[in-house]
Amino acid sequence: METLHDSPIKCSDIFKALPDQQKHIRVVMMIGVAGVGKTFSVQKFCLDWAEGLENQDVDLVIPLSFRELNLIKDEQYSLLELLRVFHPTLQEVTAEQLAGSKVLFIFDGLDESRLSLDFNKSKVVSDVTQKSSVNVLLTNLIQGKLLPSALVWITSRPAAANQIPPACVDRVTEVRGFTDDQKEEYFRKRVSDEELSSRIISHIKTSRSLHIMCLIPVFCWITATVLDHMLTTDKRGELPKTLTDMYSHFLLVQTKRKKLKYAEGHETSPQELTEADREVLLKLGRLAFEQLEKGNIMLYQEDLERCGLDVTEASLYSGVCSEIFKKESVIFQKTVYCFVHLSVQEFLAAVYLFHCYTNRNTQVLKDFLGKDFNPKSFLKKISMYFGKKDNYPSLDVFLKTAMEKSLRSKNGHLDLFVRFLHGLSLESNQRLLGGLLGQTDNSPEITQRAINNLKKMKKTKISPDRSINIFHCLTEINDHSVHQEIQEFLKSKNRSEKRLSEIHCSALAYMLQMSEEVLDELDLSQYNTSDEGKLRLIPAVRNCRKARLWSCGLSEISCSSLASALKSNPSHLRELDLGGNENLKDSGVKQLCAGLESPNCRLETLRSVHLFYSCTV
């Protein structure tokens, strides 16, 4: 813990010790959310090395991706053979050369790993010619038992990074995406016409959700593709303001481009999806949906075929899919596929489920909405909704059930998906995607009911972090009333005069959390709201120095949100008052301890009446 640093570092320097550090950096873990540029960093690092610009003390750089390693997870190789299999140009390299050189292994995409890395029981392999399974080779390499002189760089999404014990890692770096200035720089470089790029930038700034998403480079690419096209060709259309708008236009733009490319100037009606487009998109949607439920982003031929996608089909490569779906790599005659970005998978999955709803595909709906949840009343509710033809649930009931399902997810893997579902329920988006979604019984009354459901949604056992997504769904369904009310609330002189509903609290928590200014004190007793409302404010703890959470009925689930605030980087919290919370229980205390033990935690004062425990801080 004495070597804590939170400082910017250039990608090419990740193995270099900081000026005041003596330590040898051998294993680096690089984390970052989907699409933020981890793989790109790997490629840039390799390129700079290969061109002789950086890291010239390294003799050999060996990039390997987990998605490729997955393909041989059940086979036996020695480290030397592994290199030769994945990099045939290394055929001539001998064991002696390997041991005598400075080698860097890059393992990209730990989150995609289907290997089971067991650092406790793994047998010891120390000879580069000794055969073993891939996971054993990897654990030994990471622990420095095999080829101890080799450097190791692992990239991962944050949630999967804990597969490597922290004790094995010398440095953790994080790719955080574009800053606000870099977002603008991207658009200026991507769109050569200066006036056009200025218009794109000013449009992005008018939409909070788009502006935030632009920290992810892939999203900037999607945005630039759509807006560049819309501003140069059909100048009449209204520019997309929500994420659902943006992704719907993205599908259309890709279709249109393909037609221009293949019809060679013949007059077509590019805004319309053809029957063939629709068919392929729905198959892709099914694939996206089924794999999203399972948490898979890497797809294999079998997965495609199960959804009726013919991998030899020309449409898969030349058609609308070519820009949204890619053939990732071919190795051992096995092809790996994926969507260009997880959010594109989430969007198509939502399109598919929406289509199932409008086309009354009750089996898919029942399977999805009823799974992982047992109370009889719910199953009864579901079969009542989806059982009889004349008793089919209205759109708002469908959205509500999907929302509830997403809130039960521990890791939030359905958050964006359910936001898209809400966006797709709007008539404007249905018109845009013409026919892909099918006919709905949509009306302003139904949309209003869906909005009211979101505002009223109360669930005691969901994480306050998850509840913020309810507020994002309101944005997607074009309701800005809560956001406006909170802005007025923040301006008001006497804040306790206004009674805040639960959804107000989620919105407020989100806005405080995203604010550039760190709040000096968050005192829950000063907010005029219900107990659940107070709990929903907890995510704001992440962006304040003192938090007074007196007698607010903290439970285990709110402790996990608190713990994540303590673990966050940077962590601003110095003072935490938890007095009067009698229901913390052991499980809640354990969560808190995990937060207190985090190297990021900067807490100086912890007040609590009911806690008697020890943890190693």
Ligand X SMILES: *[C@@H]1O[C@H](CO)[C@@H](O)[C@H](O)[C@H]1NC(C)=O
Please give the residue ranges that form the binding site for ligand X (CB under 6 A): 120, 494, 496-499, 528
CB of 497 to ligand X, least distance (A): 5
For residues 197, 199, 205, 207, the Cα torsion angle rounded to the nearest 10 degrees is -120
| Cβ distance to ligand X smaller for residue 356 or 524 | 524
156 close to 30: Cβ distance less than 8 angstroms? yes
C-alpha to C-alpha distance for 590 and 594, rounded to whole angstroms: 6
Q: What is the CA radius of gyration of the chain?
A: 26
Place of tokens 């009306």: 443
| Cβ distance to ligand X smaller for residue 165 or 387 | 165
C-alpha to C-alpha distance for 244 and 250, rounded to whole angstroms: 10
240 close to 200: Cβ distance less than 8 angstroms? no
| Cβ distance to ligand X smaller for residue 361 or 530 | 530
DSSP string, 177-243: ---HHHHHHHHHHHS--HHHHHHHHHHHHH-HHHHHHTTSHHHHHHHHHHHHHHHHS-TTSPPP-SH
| Cβ distance to ligand X smaller for residue 233 or 526 | 526
In DSSP terms, 329 is beta-bridged to: 336
C-alpha to C-alpha distance for 75 and 446, rounded to whole angstroms: 55
C-alpha to C-alpha distance for 137 and 130, rounded to whole angstroms: 9
Distance in Å from the first CA to the final CA of the chain: 11
CB of 73 to ligand X, least distance (A): 18
DSSP string, 276-305: HHHHHHHHHHHHHHHHHHHT---EEHHHHH
Q: List b or e across 577-616, with b for residues whose CB sees 16 or more CB atoms inside 10 angstroms.
A: bbeebeebeeebbbbbbbbbebeebebeeeebeeeeeeee
Place of tokens 């399109």: 351
| Cβ distance to ligand X smaller for residue 182 or 496 | 496
| Cβ distance to ligand X smaller for residue 500 or 535 | 500
CB of 120 to ligand X, least distance (A): 4
| Cβ distance to ligand X smaller for residue 164 or 399 | 164
In DSSP terms, 338 is beta-bridged to: 326
| Cβ distance to ligand X smaller for residue 135 or 225 | 135
CB of 166 to ligand X, least distance (A): 11
C-alpha to C-alpha distance for 344 and 351, rounded to whole angstroms: 11
CB of 499 to ligand X, least distance (A): 4
Find out whether the peptide bond into 570 is cis, omega within 30 degrees of 0: yes
CB of 494 to ligand X, least distance (A): 4
| Cβ distance to ligand X smaller for residue 168 or 519 | 168
CB of 493 to ligand X, least distance (A): 7
CB of 389 to ligand X, least distance (A): 46
In DSSP terms, 606 is beta-bridged to: 576
| Cβ distance to ligand X smaller for residue 276 or 615 | 615
CB of 158 to ligand X, least distance (A): 20
CB of 144 to ligand X, least distance (A): 17
CB of 117 to ligand X, least distance (A): 9
| Cβ distance to ligand X smaller for residue 498 or 567 | 498
